[in-house]
Amino acid sequence: MVDYIVDGNIAVLEINNPPVNALSIHVREGLLTGIQKANQDGSVQAIVIIGKGSTFPSGADIREFGKPPKEPWLTAVGEAIEASEKPVISALHGTALGGGLEVALFSHYRIADERSRVGFPEVKLGLLPGAQGTIRLPRLTGLAVAMRIITSGDHINAPEALKYGILDKLISGNLLQEAKTFAKSVIGKPLDNRRLSKIAVRDAATVDKHFDEALAEVKRKYKGMIAPVNCLKSIRGSAKLPFVEAARLEAALFRELLTSAQSAALRYSFFADRSAPRWKLPSGASIENTKPDIIKSVAVIGAGTMGSAIAICFIRVGIPVLLVEQNDKLLQNALKNIGQILQGSVKLNRITADQRKQSLQILRGETSLDIVSDVDLVVEAVFENLKLKQEIFARLDKICKPSALLCSNTSTLDIDKIAVATNRPGKVAGMHFFAPAHIMKLLENVYGTHTSPSTVATIMDIGKRIGKVSVLVRTCDGFVANRMNRMVGNEAVFMLEEGALPQDVDRVLEDFGMAMGPFRVTDLSGSDVGWRIRQERAKEQGIQLTYETRFVNGERYSSLPDRLYELGRYGQKTGKGWYRYEKPFARTAYPDPEITDVINSHCRSLGIERRVIPPQEIIERCLFAAINEGFKVLEEGVAEKPENIDIIWQYGLGFPRYRGGPMFYASQVGLKTIYERVCYYYDAFPHSSYWAPSDLLRKLASHSTEVPIDQWTSKERSRL
Ligand SMILES: CCCCCCCCCCCCCC(=O)CC(=O)SCCNC(=O)CCNC(=O)[C@H](O)C(C)(C)COP(=O)(O)OP(=O)(O)OC[C@H]1O[C@@H](n2cnc3c(N)ncnc32)[C@H](O)[C@@H]1OP(=O)(O)O
Ligand SMILES: NC(=O)C1=CN([C@@H]2O[C@H](COP(=O)(O)OP(=O)(O)OC[C@H]3O[C@@H](n4cnc5c(N)ncnc54)[C@H](O)[C@@H]3O)[C@@H](O)[C@H]2O)C=CC1
């Protein structure tokens, strides 16, 4: 894994551990023996460390964390590098990250390909750069820059790294040749002033000021996360303590993080990010064996909230869009709105004015469906009404060329019921964007019974092209996100009836780490949407909903949200919802005594006695209900693996990444506990049938030891 090559008086240690040259145990062993060998070899006068393939090491091997650590540790390897009597030059290319950058900081010199990037992304894994990264970097860059680089985890490009003093020289030609030439030029020069452990932090006197400012910033930016705080404590140590003591403090802070639940969740999330977009159908078709079609043009039908934002997703990556609305007035409004959204992106420096102009040049608005005959992909985003969608799909089927894919942005409707309206069910699928669609990263792609593998490949591929995190799920009511999130919404409202207030529920879930509590989310998206869906469903079933309705088809029902609707409290858009706002469309939510009155009088009129609901119950009722549903989603094969569910929650529903997602969180709580609490709530609330425990959950919980999350599906599902 580390080749030792001597060329004249230079020893080259070439790290060869594809794909990213991670510093696995064999690489660490190879580096250590290489340094020792070069120091013993009388013909060698300088040593070059370089990566083979596309990169210098991009960090420690993340898969080794969580397993018993194997020696030599990176710190020991690094100390041997620094102690070398012969100059060691790290020659960087690609991405020199984490432990990779630490190897470079132990070296006496660092040169780099001018296109390379460096950084300490450990914080994104809930860790700190624990091989002296936090105490060596400030010695080169000063405290403020080190604090920023380490707590953000951002990559720094080579010219910037040169400016900060992290690098000594940039190389534009052949890196290895240049490294050898550089090595020859430093032979015989004193090394002590190149050993960072011998150098002081130049602005150590100002450390408290930098620490306080950076701490306030990370507490605001990375609320609830412990790693950025530990990073700062360690950097403070680098300035306040002698080197050896600072290293000891860093090691202690690193250990604390390594064994933390947050780091376990973030490391899981790192691999889940990479695994979730890898799709596989029950037929065996998969990303590995199915080629996508290349989409060159798109039509979006319906230019409301979603359609307009979906159009932006395509035009900003250069894919032309035909946007179709019912009438010219609505169309012109939408086009104006799109122009304004893009103008906002220019102001925020997300795109340039030129990019905005180019995007708008490939957007064309129309009021007739007939013009979409030649597009490769249609995304329908009209009202959530099955009959309307079926009519539109039937027309599209006649108008569009046979190869075109017809997709719906429906948030709940069965894709099969939409596909039957066409003669091309293999080319019909769901592309479920999340509001605001031009910002939210998630794309929940939905396949139906007849959706062909090549359609799936194409929607997954186009999702990636437009910069989304695409996750594939099978059609069912609400798919994964809305199906599971319905339980959160239901339980939240039921708890209002039983004793809580909106701000109580939201605060507990936000303290847990959710981006927003369910009532703030409803106020943001508008409670009129839900009211319309409830009324429509009731009408279909011939049911009359009143304030006294407490059960629908035997299921518990709360009319509290209906009361709000009828008071005109739609949320932010009307300046009043579950909270009060200063004016319509204002963002800051204030608890509203009027809402307390509405809830109290609702309870009085129904004879419900209110009680104090403890925070733990709020967490359990919202999250455990969703988790139980998640197991049903797995059991039915709606989601192929737990990672898919967790990524959907992270990118679509604001679940804190440092808790991994609801399914990973369940693995940390323990499946026995989850199962017992689900059974308890099912006993307590038999009229909420979603509390019926999932068979898969029951099976997994019955094992004497916890079944690891990566074994939750295939084996157990086949035994059900
Ligand atoms: C209680 C016990 C106490 C013991 C004390 C012991 C003390 C020891 C002290 C040692 C401390 C060391 C601390 C340290 O420095 C920690 C680190 O270095 S953590 C790692 C930091 N690095 C990263 O986070 C980089 C992660 N990788 C990336 O960002 C990207 O992969 C990268 C930009 C490098 C490349 O991106 P791209 O080209 O898009 O490729 P992919 O992302 O798809 O990756 C390809 C492939 O490689 C896998 N992979 C990537 N990085 C790693 C890695 N670091 N370890 C393992 N595997 C990695 C990735 O998962 C992909 O594989 P798949 O199979 O597709 O998943
Ligand atoms: N609003 C949200 O948060 C989300 C909505 N969705 C789904 O997206 C779809 C659209 O929702 P919104 O954009 O919120 O609704 P919206 O009401 O803002 O927009 C729907 C648009 O479709 C237009 N329309 C209706 N019939 C049409 C026709 N025959 N031809 C052309 N245009 C027509 C309407 O004029 C309206 O502008 C729905 O299926 C909804 O369930 C999906 C994810 C999130």
Structural domain includes residue 102:
yes
Task: Decide if pLDDT at 716 tops 70.
Answer: no
Amino acid 249 reads L
Residue 697: pLDDT over 60: yes
Please work out, in degrees rounded to the nearest 5, the angle formed at the alpha carbon of residue 504 by the alpha carbons of 501 and 506: 110
**Ligand closest to CA 435:** 2
Q: What's the confidence (pLDDT) of residue 58?
A: 98
Residue nearest to atom 35 of ligand 2 (CA): 326
- Are 543 and 682 part of one and the same domain? no
102 counts as catalytic: yes
Domain boundary among 606, 631, 659: 606
Under the banding of pLDDT at 50, 70 and 90, the label for residue 525 is confident
What is the structure's pLDDT at 717?
Answer: 58
Percent of the chain with pLDDT over 70: 99
- Is 361 inside any structural domain? yes
What is the rounded distance in angstroms from the CA atom of residue 467 to the CA atom of residue 564?
37
Q: How many residues does the chain have?
A: 720
Are both 122 and 178 inside the same structural domain?
yes
> What value does the mean pLDDT take over residues 259-283?
97
Whether residue 325 has its Cβ less than 6 Å from ligand 2: yes
Residues 440 and 548 in one domain: no
CATH number where 374 lies: 3.40.50.720
The residue whose C-alpha atom lies closest to atom 37 belonging to ligand 1 is 20
Residue 719 scores a pLDDT above 80: no
Catalytic residue among 79, 82, 102, 444: 102
Residue type, 67: K
Q: What is the pLDDT of residues 632-641, one digit of tens each?
A: 999 999 999 9
Ligand nearest to the CA of residue 368, numbered in listed order: 2
What are the beta bridge partners of residue 118? 96, 156
Question: Does ligand 2 come within 6 angstroms of the Cβ of 307?
Answer: yes
Same domain, 335 and 461: yes
595 and 625 co-located in one domain: no
pLDDT score of 364 more than 80: yes
Let me know if residue 689 belongs to a domain: yes
Give the residue-averaged pLDDT of 171-182.
98
The stretches of 276-385 forming alpha helices (DSSP H) are 305-315, 328-347, 353-361
User: Average pLDDT of 323-352?
Assistant: 96
CATH number at residue 707: 1.10.1040.10
Backbone angles phi, psi at 194, to 5 degrees: -100, -5
Query: Domain check: are 101 and 204 in the same one?
Result: yes
What is the domain-level CATH number for residue 180?
3.90.226.10
Q: Which of 122, 178, 497, 629 is catalytic?
A: 122
Same domain for 638 and 591: no
Q: What is the Å distance from ligand 2's center to 295 Cα?
A: 23
User: Ligand 2: does its nearest atom lie under 6 Å from the Cβ of 380?
Assistant: no
Clarify whether residues 125 and 223 are in a common domain: yes
Q: What pLDDT is attached to residue 583?
A: 95
- Structurally, how many domains does the chain consist of? 4
Asked if pLDDT for residue 178 goes beyond 90, the answer is yes
pLDDT of residue 645: 98
Residue 273 domain-assigned? no
**CA–CA separation, 317 and 350 (whole Å):** 13
3-state secondary structure of 364: strand
Ligand 2 neighbourhood includes 303 CB (under 6 angstroms): yes
Which residue lies with its CA nearest to atom 19 of ligand 2?
A: 304
- Residue 509 within any structural domain of the chain: no
Contact 635, 696 (CB under 8 A): yes
Any atom of ligand 2 within 6 Å of the Cβ of 45 = no
Residue nearest to atom 9 of ligand 2 (CA): 381
Mutate to test the pocket of ligand 1, among 20, 54, 135, 464 (most ligand atoms within 8 A of CB): 20
Best probe residue, ligand 1, of 26, 32, 58 (max atoms within 8 Å of C-beta)? 58
Read off the pLDDT of each residue in 326-350 and give the average, rounded to a whole number: 96
The answer on 710 and 670 residing in a single domain is: yes
The complex's ipTM? 0.95
Closest CA to 129 of 112, 146, 113: 146
Distance separating alpha carbons of residues 403 and 85, to the nearest angstrom: 68
Mean pLDDT taken over the chain:
96
pLDDT at 47 over 60: yes
Identify which ligand lies nearest to the alpha carbon of 27: 1
114 is catalytic: no
Same domain, 360 and 420: yes
The owner of tokens 């040049």 is 361
Residue 264 domain flag: no
Query: For residue range 563-614, what is the model confidence (pLDDT) as tens digits?
Result: 999 999 999 999 999 999 999 999 999 999 999 999 999 999 999 999 999 9
Domain that holds residue 238: 2-259
Output the CA–CA distances (angstroms, integers) from residue 399 to 109, 322, 378, 403, 406, in the order listed: 65, 14, 11, 12, 11
pLDDT band at 514 (very low <50, low <70, confident <90, very high): very high
Distance from Cα 526 to the centre of ligand 2, integer Å: 14
Residue 362 pLDDT > 80: yes
Q: Residue 446: nearest ligand to its CA?
A: 2
How confident is the model over 702-716, as a mean pLDDT? 85
Q: Say if residue 368 is in the same domain as residue 249.
A: no
Q: What local confidence, expressed as pLDDT, does residue 117 receive?
A: 98
In the numeric block, which tokens belong to residue 421?
């309206």
pLDDT one-digit tens code per residue, 530-555: 888 888 889 888 999 999 999 999 99
Q: Is the pLDDT assigned to residue 720 strictly greater than 60?
A: no
pLDDT tens-digit map of 424-479:
999 999 999 999 999 999 999 999 999 999 999 999 999 999 999 999 999 999 99
Nearest to 407 by CA among 436, 435, 446: 446
Distance 59 CA to ligand 1 centre (A): 5
Do 453 and 591 reside in the same domain of the chain?
Answer: no
- Predicted confidence (pLDDT) per residue in 91-149, tens digit: 999 999 999 999 999 999 999 999 999 999 999 999 999 999 999 999 999 999 999 99
| Tokens linked to 14 | 């070439």
330 lines ligand 2 (CB under 6 A): yes
Pocket of ligand 1 (CB under 6 A): 19-20, 22, 58-63, 69, 73-75, 95, 97-99, 102, 121-122, 125, 127, 129-131, 255, 258-259, 271, 274
Q: What average pLDDT does the segment 656-665 reach?
A: 98
Confirm whether 439 is domain-assigned.
yes
Does ligand 2 come within 6 angstroms of the Cβ of 411? yes
Residue 491: inside a domain, yes or no? no
At 66, is the pLDDT very low, low, confident or very high (cuts 50, 70, 90)? confident
